[in-house]
Amino acid sequence: MQLIDIHTLLQAELLASDQLIRQRAALHLDMVNLLTNHVASAGGKRLRPIMLLLIAKAFNYQGNDHITLASATELIHTASLLHDDVVDESTLRRGQKTANEIWGNAASVLVGDFLYSRAFELAVSLRNHDITQAIASATHQVAQGEIIQLMHRRNFQTTIEDYLQIITCKTGKLFEVAAHLGALLAAPSYADAACTYGLNVGIAFQMMDDILDYQGHVEQIGKNIGDDLNEGNLTLPLLYILQSKHTAHIECVKNAIHTPDPTQIAALQQAIIASGAREYAEQLAKHYAERARQALADFPRNIYTEALESIIDFAVMRSY
């Protein structure tokens, strides 16, 4: 099952979620509407709300709260993107200029804050302590991951264990909470398995994202190649090289981090392949993907769990 097929499968639910997001994000302030529409118009994979909806439907959930929580999850993700682009000084996302590049950092941060507040309003409206606690914990850990990553910029003492902590918090936890919320609504006894599934999909997804930062194409991934390099972020392929014994490859990484330059990208791309760093990162991503697959073992077998398995495949086989 392809991602487009999953979007079709959930067409009604995604449409209802979009309508709710537009209602909650709408405000009589042009700045909010401009930035929100700009981010939304760029599209996106929408894996987090999709994951939540699929898990709820896999267990035959009959209410409407999954729409509310899918909307809250997407609002949180959108807010985090606005903030990420400011922190990372990014200029391109999803193939178009970032909001901060167009309207400035202040507008992006404030609208991001606004969207976070709307997401929490949606969650609180359900009057379910477990749900609000899960969302509060996840957003806290996402912020923690961003802070830890900032502390490790251009730090050649960063380890692969440090990297795993960063991406577990920064990316994995938002995937995890999306899966968790779907289970809390429809099958609380499966909450732990759902969390394991979501977290490991998120980790595998981020590892592939970090590979594509050096091996992808701007037209496919929708952002500038080498963004992590420019930001000084030591991601998995670079950390693998730094922990190797190949002096020339190590010097290539250090030179590129110290003096970010487009001319360094080609040499770094070659070093990543020649050193085995890409192969290592891909294999580790597949390891986490297999953990996610195992977590689905006791889920009911239906078209929705088939789609959940397809998301695992997409996370590790994608080119964008």
- The chain-wide mean pLDDT, for the chain, equals 89
What band does 135 get if pLDDT is binned at 50, 70 and 90? very high
What is the pLDDT averaged over residues 163-172?
96
pLDDT score, position 218: 53
pLDDT score, position 95: 64
| Least-confidence region, from 56-60, 87-91, 104-108, 112-116 | 87-91
The tokens 């994000």 sit on which residue? 25
What is the pLDDT averaged over residues 98-126?
89
The tokens 């970032």 sit on which residue? 98
Tokens of 56: 């709820």
pLDDT score, position 258: 80
Q: What gap in Å lies between CA 122 and CA 149, rounded to an integer? A: 29
Q: Distance between terminal CA atoms of the chain?
A: 17
**62 pLDDT higher than 80:** yes
- The answer to whether the CB of 225 falls within 8 A of the CB of 194 is no
The 3-state DSSP class for residue 160 equals helix
The 3-state DSSP class for residue 97 equals strand
What band does 143 get if pLDDT is binned at 50, 70 and 90? very high
**220 pLDDT higher than 70:** no
Higher pLDDT, 280 or 264: 280
Q: Which of 100, 42, 71, 18 is nearest to 221 (CA)?
A: 42
**149 pLDDT higher than 70:** yes
- The answer to whether the CB of 49 falls within 8 A of the CB of 17 is yes
Give residue 91's identity as a one-letter amino acid code.
Answer: T
| Least-confidence region, from 23-27, 117-121, 280-284 | 23-27
Distances (CA, A) of 22 to 37, 47, 112, 145: 9, 19, 15, 29
- The answer to whether the CB of 252 falls within 8 A of the CB of 267 is yes
pLDDT score, position 96: 78
What is the pLDDT averaged over residues 237-259?
89
Q: What gap in Å lies between CA 174 and CA 135, rounded to an integer? A: 9
Q: Which of 35, 118, 30, 38 is nearest to 74 (CA)?
A: 118
pLDDT score, position 41: 66
Q: Which of 141, 251, 157, 158 is nearest to 199 (CA)?
A: 141
pLDDT score, position 27: 63
pLDDT score, position 22: 82
| Least-confidence region, from 24-38, 42-56, 60-74, 198-212 | 24-38
What is the pLDDT averaged over residues 270-280?
93
pTM of the model: 0.91
pLDDT score, position 139: 95
pLDDT score, position 225: 63
Q: What are the structural domains of the chain? A: 3-317 (1.10.600.10)
**75 pLDDT higher than 60:** yes
